[in-house]
Structures are given as C-alpha cells and as structure tokens.
Structure 1
C-alpha cells in the first residue's frame, strides 16, 4: 500500500506564506509591534536587534539573523516588548531553517506568556499552532488556535485570519462541519468590512474540506475560483497548490488527461520547495497504474526536492520509492532506501510510514531468504492492535508470499483467511477518510492474490466463490453498510439461480497480470483464462472511443471490437436468443457488452443475438427473487432548475417526462419537475408506493466513494444554500419497492463518460434500498434519442414486459429505425439487476 493524500495518503501541507494572505495579516501586526519596539529602543539610545534581524532575513542570511536575535535576547529582560518581539523572531527564523522541533521547544519554553503584550501573545501562540500543524500535531494546533482566538479582539481581521487557520486544522481532524463554520465566520468579516483579502484562502480551504470528504466534484469549483484569485494577485506559488488539489479531484473522478494537464501546469508554477508535491503525486498515479519504473523516477525526484526542506514529506516519498523498487525486483536499492526510511520513521511517534516500512522490510528479507526475520517483522505489523488496518492486510499478504516461497500451501491459505477475518472485524471502526480508501485498496490486493493462489492450485470453484464473496464485501464496504461479512455459497446454489432465471452468469475477474472468466449455467461451470488488465483496458478504451466518435466505425476499430468480443465471450458460450447476466470488473465496468460487434457474413451487435443485463455481485443477487407487481404506477423526477454551470438545463427532459407520464393513468403517476424537483420533494413523495421511478437529470458517479455519488436536482425555493443533490446516502435511507428505477442522466459539463465503478455503486444503492432493477447510463445519455427510447421502454413496461425485455425491445427498435442505429444513441443505458425473474426469459 502506498502513502497517498487525503484519499491515498499524500499529505498536503498548507505551508505558511511569508508575505501573503492570512499570514500577511499577522505580519502586519508584527510590523506594527516592531515599530513600537524601535521607538522604545530609540528612546533608550540602544541598538535595534529586531530591525537588524529583519534586515538579515530579507537578505536570506538566516543564520546571521538568528545570531543577532539570540544576542539581543541576552540583553533584554523578559518583561520588555523587545524581548517578546525577539522571541517571536527566533521561532520564525528556526522555522525558516527547517528546525521546527527546535522552534517548538523554544515556544513551549516561553509558556506561560506572562508579561507578553496581548498582540504579541496571539502571534506567539499562532506561531506555535502553525508549527504543530506542520508536524502533524493537529489536536495541539487546534487547542492553541482556540486559545489565540479567545485572546484576539472579536470581529477583526486577525480573528478572521485565525478562523481560516483553524479551519485548515479542523479539516485534518475530520471535523468538517466545524471547519465550515469557521470559514463562514471569516466570510462574515469579509462582507461586513469590505476586506476581501482572505477570500481566496476561504475558498481554498472550503475546497480542501470537500476534497477531504472525497466530494471531488463539489471541491472543484471553490478550488478553481481560489486558483484564479491567487493568479490575479500574482501569487503563483500558492496558485500552484490549488492546481495540485484540483488535479487530484479530476484524477479521482477518472478524468486522467485533465488531471495530468493540471499537474504539468502546477509543476511549472510551483515554488522550488513545493515541486516535490507535484512529482510525488505523479509518482502515486504511476504506482497505481502499475508503471513502477516511472513511479520510481518521480519518487526519486520528489525525495530529492523534499530533502532538507520538508521533513514531513521526505520519508513518505522514500517509503513509496522503496515500494516501487520492490515491485520491480530491485531489492538492493529498495533495501538501501528502506533502511533510511526506518531510521527516519523510528524517530516519529505513531508514524503510519513506519508500518509501511516494516512491511517493505519483511518483503526484502523474504527475497534474501531470511525467512525467520521476515516472518517476525511481518507478524509485528499483522498482529498489531492499533494503527491503520491497511498495513496489517498488506502484512498478511506478504506472509502468504513468504509461505508460498517455502512451499507451504496450507499456511498460505491460513494467511489469506486471517486477512479476511481481520477485514470482517475492523469494518465498523473505519471512517470515510484516508484510512477507508487505502484499506479498500489493500483488501482488494489480498482478494486478488487469494484468487490467483486458488487458481494455481487448480481449485477453480473455490476461486470463483472467493471472487464473488470479495465482490459483495467490497460493495458493502464502499457504501458504508453495516455488517460487511457476507455469505459464501456452494456452486450448486449458483447453478440453481441460473436455472431459475433461465440465464448464464458471466463473472469476470480482472488482474494486473492475468484475468479470469467464470461461466455458470444450469448445467455447466467453465473457467476461461484472460489476459491482464492492460490489454483488456486498451481494447475497451478503443472500442469506447469509436462509439463516442459516432458514425460508421473504421475497419481497424471494428476489428478491435470483434477481438474484444471473442476474448470476453468465447464461442462455446454464445447462443442465439440466449440470456446473459454480466458481472463486470475493472475496465469492464465502462463497457456495455450489448455494443460489442459480432463479425461474420452479417456484421451486427451482440444485443441482436442476446439479452444482456448486469449484476454488481452474484452473491448479493442470490436469494432475491423478483416479485410480480400488478399495479403499474410511476414517479417522474427531473427537468431540474439550473443552479450550477457544471449541470446545465437538459433541453429534452420535460418532453421525456411528459411522454412517459401519458402512458399511465393520472391517478397512477406523479411528476416532480422544474423547481419542484428537489431532494426533499422526492423523499416526501413516498417513493416506496411506486412501481417505476424515473429520473431525468444530471448525475455524478464517484468510483472511489460511491457514497458521494448523486443525482442533481433543484434546490429548495428561497434557500440558495440548500442542497440540490440526491445522494447515495439519501437513496439508502428511503426504502423502495419499485420494479425498476431509471436514471436517464447526463454527466457534468466537460465529461462524457462516468467512472464505471462509481455508477455500479450508485445503481446498487437503489437495488439495496429495495428496487428489483435499475437502468442507468455509463456515458452521457443522448438528449435527442433518449425520449424516443424511454417512450418505447415504458410502453413495454406498461404492457407488462419485464425491464430486460422492455429495454432490449426499445433498443432494437432504434437500431431498426436507422437514424439512431449507432450505439452511441442506445448503448449508454444499461440494466442492473438485483433480483432474478424466474421463467421470464422463456417468453422471448
């Protein structure tokens, strides 16, 4: 597991800007006090060590400035203002020399600040809080900022400044609501005073607060506005920090090209002492993409940039460098780097980097054949009762590798079982924060290795069962549902379910080096080995690009699509008129199998041969049988009022909703449109009473935090700050009994495709809340063809067709019509099933 930021342990530092923004306010106060000190010294006929120190600092002669301050302190008594001015300068110069521990020890030695003028006391306490924040001591920093606020005069610029500073600390303490309250109070000062110099900082930390909660799409707007304001003020160094955060948001939303563009821009703008942040982020992205050589290159540069400048980040970049080297098998260099990390981390109390370094050390000792030392080191992490459980999972995974090298298959199995048992124990104490996502990454890695282990032993049925159990567990984890422990089923149960639904399950498991397909029908179980993720992703992305271009595909694109079809649906599994339930993984979340081209004498799409639906997890599908519904009623929600330029008004949403509504009697339909289409109105409409629920709106899908995905609706009248988002959390809190929920949605402006896993999480939230099926789009639904498709879909549903049958018939009608035969117009919508329809497929 690598160390990312708020999402995957890359720890953003809010560096103190020495002449701008919040700090500038305090510097001005310090200057005022310095002038008072000068007058005192002039009156006494003495020299001015404060002015001498400031002059040397302006010439970047910090050591000489420190010497002048210390000499001046030796000539002053503690009760004079000059003494406290020099005391403040000493802490600041020690910070500038990267001697933060010494600066903190100095400030602690001054407490209590008896005799210090009130203004200087506030500055000294603020200085101590800043250092504590930089050292990761956020609780102490918050305590001291609270103390400074109690001393500072209310409704003044310095108080607003301290509020902004406290907000950034509260964000790191996972106290987002308190942080937002501090930012609002600072905003009130700006509005009342007309002093808007703090505005870019308020926007910045508001964005960081949203980013910290994994609300990446919401964070982009305040971060981008803050960036523009810093740029207008010619503060490029701070603007670069905003670009780093904004780039991270785009990366987590799956918009890789946009993220990389922003990172490159930040690299050009960043101050020399901050360039390592960009380089480290690029290393993290390369590491997640499994380009270990490129990741190592970035980490070397990041570590070199942080060395001697940033003692907080330097060991973290080395930690990740060691991991990248281990993954390349460069054991000697990895050991040298990791030894330095261990030496550094051992001096930091409670450092999460120490556990990671110990896991790396265990893997290194394993490679050297020092099995006893390796096991002792890894067990120290695996059996730890405190800290981040992600590292314990990594340790169990490394122990499994250790036992495999010693040809102990039973011990390997025990290690994986211990990791799974740990996952079931720790789930309830995880929060939706940095621990959550790193934990899920480590848990996914354990599951993948376990499946590979079982396949290598020839236990294909066991591997399939482990994969399905893993899928169900991860879905529950990502949606923050209680009780992540899920049942495991025997193969006979899956076959019985396939028989009941008259369908074939195609369950995919995509791994870095190798992938698998398990096919389960009423009478057979078959395993197919597939290539690794990189090749499958390349083919999927090429197929998707061809669809987005529209028109007749080029010959090479069609050939690539046909290759993908033959790879994913082997010939023995193909049956004209067959029914298939797809369980996707990895890049397959972004693929609609219906759009795959079938070659031969009559080229066509697979939808013309088969009925295809998707299940997020077979284990969650089993045991849920679709119930017959006699009453046919519909709740229509959409055509929302625009309140964010990211989500412009949909031109044909009203037409779509009105057309569907006319298919149902007036007493069996309810329409929430325009300003009435709010999240609160949806919740009050008793959605549990409707057979069909239809949304015609924008939506956001967050693959890393599906809990933060949302349907974009109108805001409440008269409440400009009200939420206009129906979140997954709210979906889960409203029980429904619908046969079908349809999300006929467009994504936010500037992004044409969804992050597939986020959409699956969103769809499954409705399934979990009681819906039998969900239709949702995996790319922007065409605002032109969608009304036609939806009318045909609901006409079929009103005529008692089941959702899969009705959706397929509507799509085939578009294909036959010619005008919208291109898969761009019909392929976006995909059916997710949360219940089996016994015998329904036999009607086709």
Structure 2
C-alpha cells in the first residue's frame, strides 16, 4: 500500500452474492524532534453485496449497452451500480483518491469510472483507477526495477511537451492493412470485431511520434507483425492504434491485428498473446487504444488477465487498453493528453532524484493519474462528455 490516499478493492463474485474486500492505510505524521516515527496502521474490511453472478452480469451488460447507444438513461444505471457495489464501503473509501481494483468475473467488463455517486458526477472525476488481475499479480508487478534516465529534448516553453525517457521513447503502430487472408480467417470467428480501415488511427500513431523525440511510427502496410516483433524490444513505450481482440474463452489467442508481411510467410498478421510472451521487452507501458472485448457467454476476465500477464512475462509491467473501439478524433486527443500527462509526471519525479517516484510516474497509479487527467479534459468538452468516448479505457498492472 503506497500511502494513505490509496485503497485496494478486491471483488469476489459467487453464485448468490458478491464480496468486496477493502484495504486502506492510515496517514502517518511526519517525524520531528517532538514526534517519533510511527508505523502505518492498516484497515481491512469485508462487505457482502446481495447480488449473484448471473444477475450482476445482466446489470453490467445492460449498463454497457446503454453507454454504447449513447443513451441518457445510462445515468440511472450508473447510480444504481455505484450504490450497490461501492456505497457499502463509502466511509472507508473517503479521502482515498487512488484506487487499485481487482475485479472478478463480469466486473472486468464494468467501466467503473462511469459510475456515479451523485447525478452528473462520475467516479473518475474524483478517483484515479488502476486494475490488477490478482493480488499475486499486483505484488509481482509492483517489484521495483531501475527506471531509465530521462532528459528534455529541447529548450523553451513552446517545446515543453517534447520530452522523452530515452533515445527510443515510443513505438507506435496504426491503421494496418488487413489483407483478404487475415480477414477471411477472422470472419470465421463468431465475433471478429471491427476490421474497417481507420484513417483516424493512422493520425493517432503519427501524432504520438511527433510528441516525443527518438520515436517511430509505422502505419498502413508498414504496421506489420514482423516489424512489431523486431522493433518492440528497443522502446520504452509501445502504442498500438490497431484492432485488438480480447478473448475470455481463449485468452492466449487474444490478438492484435497487424499487416501481414509479404516477405515473411512465417507471420500471419495476428500478434497473439502466446507470441507476446516470447518477446524481450524493455517497455514500461504498452497501450492498445483500439482493442475490444469479444462477446462471450460468460465473463471470466481472463482476456484482460491474459494480456496483462503476457506483457509482464515479456518484460512490461503496465498495460493501458480500451474495452470498446472508439474510432473518433476523441481517441487521438485522449491518447495525446494521456502521454503528455504521463511523461510530464515522469520528468518531474526524475528531477527530484527519487527513483521510486519516477518509477511510479510511468507505471501503475502514475499511468492511472495520467489517464484520469486526460479524461477530465474530455469531460470539459460537451462533444465528448458522454462516457462512450472515454469510459472504456483502463490501466492494468503495476500499482505504483
């Protein structure tokens, strides 16, 4: 538990009931000549929620449907789900602005940030939300590793945002060319997802490249699986503005759809999770900005957990992704603000020479705060205020 502003929420969904376990830490006075150093105290409470697996899944599916339709009726559902799942722990969660959530079952599909304690006030407006697949995974991902030194790329306020963590800051892929062979293979699936070309995804990838010195973007025919495997070990941040499918039923076959190289018949254009596990990554963050959850009869959350664990095994502790695809300029704006916020915090932390804080700024809670700030900017826009545009994005991995 990093500090007294953080709360750990773990859910367990059973057939008849749902359980919420909340762990918080008390604030500790700073030691002084008159005040001795004190060890922090912890509070762990369990809350019983009177809803079982099937009914909860139905409520969450309905909530998602209303958001997907941009239906204003979602607000009532947002308040009802908040009151049912989070209100029982309201007293313990008061003042806790950073939440580490370990969902279970269909709760993985719930966009917590879109819940409302009061009308027109979203949870994300007051809380930075990070997720983990389990406490074991969280403990492993929180083990520190040495952060890469950081530097500014230019002088002057006009270029203040052009910052980088290393000579190879960010690698971005966007709008791959999905050939007939890949399309036919994916169309044989029950739920292939949206495979239409996306010029906006191409704009997104190119815009991110311009944001950082030492970055590269590959779009269209260049956004190939072969190149992704060859280049991904050289960069600190990797961004895929390409169709990705998270599969609860077969998590190791969740995939990112990329261009199939004409020169390499060994690559089929689908970068699957089992292949990701074999990569040697140096990245601290990987983002899937155009990912979608495959439809499933049951919602185990294994699609989220599988991708997160595969990236961790390959060397990357933190994943940012979307639950549904938003092919609109809002996604490009959200991602640009996300990375600006993320790297600004990393530079400030590194400048303070506190490596622990620098590490936090570029992973876990630091990434959740960066995403929260980007979402708050969209909430200030009447055009993109509806949760359809932002609620599907979440950060999974190292809690900071």
The answer on 1:512 being equivalent to 2:15 is yes
Greater strand share, structure number: 2
Greater helix share, structure number: 1
Quote the residue 2:174 is aligned against.
Answer: 638
State the alpha-carbon separation in 1 of the partners of residues 297 and 334 from structure 2: 20
The answer on 1:729 being equivalent to 2:274 is yes
Displacement after TM superposition at 1:501 (Å): 8.5
The answer on 1:740 being equivalent to 2:316 is no
Residues 60-209 of structure 1: pairs in structure 2 closer than 5 A: none
Quote the residue 1:595 is aligned against.
Answer: 114
2:226 equivalent among 680, 686, 689: 680
Quote the residue 2:57 is aligned against.
Answer: 537
Q: Secondary structure at the match of 2:238?
A: strand
TM-score by length of 2: 0.76
Displacement after TM superposition at 1:502 (Å): 4.9
Displacement after TM superposition at 1:651 (Å): 2.3
* Alpha carbons of structure 1 residues 586 and 828: separation in structure 2 relative to 1, 3 Å: same
Conserved? CA contact 2:225–2:267, under 8 Å: no
Conserved? CA contact 2:170–2:212, under 8 Å: yes
Structure 1 unmatched ranges of 5 or more: 1-497, 838-844
Displacement after TM superposition at 1:772 (Å): 2.3
The answer on 1:651 being equivalent to 2:199 is yes
Conserved? CA contact 2:248–2:296, under 8 Å: no
Quote the residue 1:717 is aligned against.
Answer: 262
Conserved? CA contact 2:290–2:326, under 8 Å: yes
Displacement after TM superposition at 1:698 (Å): 0.5
1:574 equivalent among 93, 101, 115: 93
Question: Which string of whole-angstrom CA distances, capped at 9 and with x for unpartnered residues, describes residues 762-782 of structure 1?
Answer: 133212322121001112234
* Alpha carbons of structure 1 residues 753 and 766: separation in structure 2 relative to 1, 3 Å: farther
State the alpha-carbon separation in 1 of the partners of residues 3 and 280 from structure 2: 26
TM-score by length of 1: 0.37
* Alpha carbons of structure 1 residues 671 and 505: separation in structure 2 relative to 1, 3 Å: same
Give the structure with higher Rg (CA).
1
1:521 equivalent among 15, 24, 34: 24
* Alpha carbons of structure 1 residues 746 and 514: separation in structure 2 relative to 1, 3 Å: closer
Question: Which string of whole-angstrom CA distances, capped at 9 and with x for unpartnered residues, describes residues 630-676 of structure 1?
Answer: 342111123211214452212211100111111111xx212222222
2:76 equivalent among 544, 547, 559: 559
Structure 2 unmatched ranges of 5 or more: 26-41, 151-164, 188-194, 347-360
State the alpha-carbon separation in 2 of the partners of residues 673 and 740 from structure 1: 20
Displacement after TM superposition at 1:500 (Å): 5.3
1:817 equivalent among 358, 378, 381: 381
Q: Secondary structure at the match of 1:521?
A: strand
Question: Which string of whole-angstrom CA distances, capped at 9 and with x for unpartnered residues, describes residues 241-299 of structure 1?
Answer: xxxxxxxxxxxxxxxxxxxxxxxxxxxxxxxxxxxxxxxxxxxxxxxxxxxxxxxxxxx
1:550 equivalent among 70, 90, 100: 70
Quote the residue 1:428 is aligned against.
Answer: none
1:663 equivalent among 205, 211, 218: 211
State the alpha-carbon separation in 2 of the partners of residues 704 and 698 from structure 1: 18
Conserved? CA contact 1:657–1:696, under 8 Å: yes
Q: Secondary structure at the match of 1:572?
A: helix
Q: Secondary structure at the match of 2:329?
A: coil
Displacement after TM superposition at 1:757 (Å): 3.0
Conserved? CA contact 1:501–1:836, under 8 Å: no
* Alpha carbons of structure 1 residues 589 and 715: separation in structure 2 relative to 1, 3 Å: same
Conserved? CA contact 1:781–1:829, under 8 Å: no
State the alpha-carbon separation in 1 of the partners of residues 102 and 127 from structure 2: 16
